[in-house]
């Protein structure tokens, strides 16, 4: 007899569980987990998520009904298995792949875990199919009950999240528009191109390998290979370029931006109103209150330009968490891509897309219609992964994009811009600065060596290479002098001593800036940590301390909130001090009495001298050797307010490399284990 199956719970439930888990629970759960970093409401995703869910449900249900019976049983078992595995992958077997900043990932590190994960998926799917045939209705009943339990669990979870959700209000937003993007002045121009992650060592290689697309295409430029960036990654790199400093104070990132822009010589020059200005980058790197210095700060209500495009992009992020680990490289993405789908009252915000920028440049062209001298700051994708463009700015969709090809595409944008300046007759009146925000770890350690090239006004020569050591700490001054019409070389900013560099590290949402140093000249020399670590986002830390409380530097890490600088990463049993100075800050009830501090630690490489300062007062000097518990008296009157700042000066700190114990270059002294501050017992 012909198999005539009708719709029933047995054929409907597999598709419903799969569609609900993948297109309802997973995206909504992930949205709420990242809502603070997203500019759009979940309502923008809802129509297309429901459409995707409907298609998945209808397709699976249709196949469950029309496939031959044995194939249908195997198919439904596989769908059930995949649904349970997706939930398990996204909520239990979560792998941390780092920040979604588009950086190249060394997938080989995750290969073994990916293979084991894939074997788990295959084994579970095969087991489900086997048991569905072996135990038949008994196993089907068990699976259907488990499916209902999972659905109920997901519905309850989403209900709790929705109750807690405060919503995104469509308030007027400040953004950086494309205003005057292709407008220059016939009088004078200072143009700054910032190709993201374009390493100076990469440029050196490309000059030899592709002379026609580099040196010959960019005459009149001078390349400075011995350049040290200010900070990385981009969140700190671009503000450093514009201000000459990073966040080394106890303040939030936004407070750092405001203070940095207030003191920046570049912004002070621009606020005079003598220039037509344009900053074409992401707004999070800019103090958006400075519309007195930035002409393209605009306002409007954020809207989604394409619901389908945004939802498709968001589902790539969902796949990173819920798909098998081996498929993660296929779905890897850059969170900055969400900005592509943002428009504001029909006014499009500037978005980093080199192909679009090149198309606009070649199709619309530059105009020399600005009424004032121009300052333009163009942030480009540059050599930043993922590599999706070739040297002609065509999209590469087969996964064969390379760093070199995309970098050549960026240089082609700059070359085209130069050609249009020449046609307008304003080339000689224009200073052009090409500087990457930072380098790339595949070429320079900790990304410290960025591309820096400059075309000075009124010069004509073949492409040149200069050996002047440069630091980005001078870049705001260099751009200011270019605006004032006096920039003709960088000799004035030649660095003769140490150059400092700050690298951003993220752990549990806390951004720390580790300080490094390199001597001048720097070609062939190593970048070394100084031991100082500054917390870039610290105001959310609770530094309140109850006298007598023991805080730990081991895996419990309760001392972490009080650390300011001079500590390495926690190693489970202890935390090493880093460099010659380590600082901690405690907020305590007001007291002027005598206190006692109890320090428990080990020492590195024999005896260590320890100078203990409390609130800038030297309270003790002693020598430690081996595992130690030290009692330090804090004299009466040392603490007169609510702040108790502890500074340990460690002049004997040294690295394992210096001691002949390995290649570790960290400057170590004490392996901190615990600390207590209490009221002193008076005998």
Give the C-alpha distances (Å, rounded to integers) separating 423 from 112, 368, 420: 56, 10, 5
Q: Which residues contact 319 (CB under 8 A, 6 or more apart)?
A: 327, 328, 331
Does domain 181-297+342-496 sit in CATH 3.20.20.70? no
Alpha-carbon distance 238 to 54, whole Å?
Answer: 44
Please tell me the distance from the alpha carbon of residue 370 to that of residue 424, in angstroms, as a whole number.
Answer: 13
d(CA 205, CA 287): 36
Q: What is the 3-state secondary structure (H, E, C) of 296-346?
A: CEEEECEEECCHHHHHHHHHHHHHHHHCCHHHHHHHCCEHHHHHHHEEECC
> Can you give the pLDDT at residue 346?
46
**CA–CA gap between residue 227 and residue 444 (Å, rounded):** 11
The span from the first CA to the last CA of the chain, in angstroms, equals 100
Please tell me the pTM assigned to this model. Answer: 0.63
What pLDDT was estimated at residue 339?
Answer: 67
Residue 302, pLDDT score: 65
678: left (phi over 0), alpha (psi -120 to 50) or beta: beta
Under a CB-based contact definition with an 8 Å cutoff, are residues 209 and 200 in contact? Answer: no
Q: What's the confidence (pLDDT) of residue 342?
A: 67
Ranges of CATH 2.60.120.260 domains, the chain: 541-679
Residues of the chain with CATH 3.40.720.10: 181-297+342-496
Residue of 423, 416, 413, 353 lying closest to 381 (CA atoms) = 353
CATH architecture, domain defined by 541-679: Sandwich (2.60)
Buried b (16+ CB within 10 A) or exposed e, 351-366: bbbbbebbeebeeeeb
3-class SS letters over 121-177: HHHHHHHHHHHHHHCCHHHHHHHHHHHHHHHHHHHHHHHHHHHHCCCCCCCCEEEEE
**pLDDT at res. 4:** 45
Query: What is the bridge-based pairing of β-strands 608-614 and 617-624?
Result: antiparallel
Contact 298, 179 (CB under 8 A): yes
Q: How is residue 81 written in tokens?
A: 């298995």
Give the torsion sign (CA, 151, 59, 22, 44): negative
How high is the pLDDT of residue 260? Answer: 94
Q: What is the mean pLDDT, run by run of 10 residues, along the chain of 683 residues?
A: 58 90 90 75 88 93 89 90 90 67 59 84 91 86 90 89 65 78 95 96 96 95 97 92 89 87 96 95 90 89 78 86 77 66 60 88 94 96 89 82 94 97 96 96 90 96 97 96 93 93 72 87 86 62 86 85 79 84 88 89 91 94 91 90 91 86 79 93 64
């Amino acid at each position: 007899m012909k198999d005539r199956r009708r719709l029933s719970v047995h054929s409907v439930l597999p598709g419903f569980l799969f569609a609900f888990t993948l297109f309802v629970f997973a995206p909504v759960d992930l949205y709420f987990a990242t809502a603070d970093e997203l500019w759009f409401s979940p309502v923008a995703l809802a129509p297309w998520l429901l459409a995707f869910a409907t298609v998945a449900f209808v397709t699976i249900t249709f196949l469950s009904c029309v496939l031959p019976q044995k194939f249908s049983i195997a198919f439904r078992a596989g769908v059930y298995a995949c649904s349970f595995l997706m939930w398990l992958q996204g909520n239990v077997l979560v792998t941390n792949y780092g920040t979604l900043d588009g950086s190249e990932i060394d997938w080989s590190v995750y290969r073994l875990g990916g293979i084991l994960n894939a074997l788990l998926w295959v084994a579970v799917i095969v087991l489900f199919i086997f048991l569905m045939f072996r135990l038949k209705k008994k196993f089907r009943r068990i699976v259907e009950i488990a499916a209902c339990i999972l659905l109920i669990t997901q519905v309850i979870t989403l209900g709790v999240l929705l109750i807690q959700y405060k919503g995104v209000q469509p308030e007027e937003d400040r953004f950086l528009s494309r205003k005057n993007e292709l407008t220059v002045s016939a009088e004078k121009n200072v143009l700054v191109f910032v190709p993201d992650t374009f390493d100076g060592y990469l440029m050196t290689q490309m000059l030899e390998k592709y002379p026609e697309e580099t040196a010959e295409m960019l005459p009149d430029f001078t390349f400075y290979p011995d350049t040290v960036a200010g900070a990385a990654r981009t969140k700190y790199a671009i503000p450093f370029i514009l201000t000459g400093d990073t966040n080394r104070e106890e303040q939030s990132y936004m407070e750092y931006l405001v203070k940095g822009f207030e003191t920046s010589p570049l912004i002070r020059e621009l606020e005079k109103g003598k220039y037509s200005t344009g900053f074409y980058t992401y707004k999070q790197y800019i103090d958006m209150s400075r519309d007195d210095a930035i002409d393209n700060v605009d306002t409007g209500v954020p809207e989604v330009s394409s619901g389908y495009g945004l939802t498709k992009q968001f589902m790539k992020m969902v796949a990173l968490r819920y798909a098998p680990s081996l498929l993660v490289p296929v779905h890897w993405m850059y969170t900055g891509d969400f900005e592509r789908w943002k428009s504001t009252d029909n006014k499009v915000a500037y978005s980093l897309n080199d192909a679009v920028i090149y198309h606009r440049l070649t199709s619309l062209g530059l105009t020399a219609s600005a009424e004032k001298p121009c300052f333009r700051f163009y942030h480009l994708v540059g050599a930043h992964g993922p590599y999706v463009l070739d040297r002609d700015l065509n999209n590469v969709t087969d996964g064969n994009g390379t760093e070199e090809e995309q970098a050549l595409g960026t240089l082609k944008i700059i070359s085209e811009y130069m050609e249009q300046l020449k046609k307008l007759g304003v080339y000689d009146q224009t200073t052009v600065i090409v500087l990457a925000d930072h380098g790339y770890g595949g070429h320079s350690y900790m990304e410290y060596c960025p591309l820096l090239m400059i075309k000075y006004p009124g010069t004509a020569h073949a492409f040149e290479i200069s050996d002047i050591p440069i630091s980005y700490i001078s870049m705001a001054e260099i751009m200011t002098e270019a605006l004032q019409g006096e920039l003709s070389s960088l000799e004035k900013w030649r660095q003769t001593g140490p150059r400092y560099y700050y690298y951003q590290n993220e752990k549990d949402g806390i951004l720390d800036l580790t300080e490094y140093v390199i001597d001048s000249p720097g070609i062939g020399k190593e970048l070394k940590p100084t031991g100082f670590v500054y917390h870039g986002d610290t105001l959310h830390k609770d530094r309140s301390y109850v006298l007598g409380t023991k805080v730990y530097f081991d895996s419990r890490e309760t001392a972490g909130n009080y650390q300011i600088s001079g500590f390495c990463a926690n190693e489970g049993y202890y935390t090493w001090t880093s460099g010659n100075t380590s600082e901690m800050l405690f907020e305590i009830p007001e007291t002027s009495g005598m206190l006692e501090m109890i320090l428990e630690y080990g020492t590195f490489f024999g005896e260590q001298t320890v100078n203990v300062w409390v609130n800038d007062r030297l309270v003790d000097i002693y020598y430690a050797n081996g595992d130690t518990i030290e009692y330090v008296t804090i004299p009466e009157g040392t603490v007169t307010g609510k702040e108790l700042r502890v500074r340990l000066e460690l002049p004997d700190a040294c690295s394992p490399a210096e001691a002949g114990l390995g290649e570790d270059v960290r400057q170590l002294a004490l392996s901190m284990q615990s600390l207590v501050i209490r009221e002193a017992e008076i005998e």
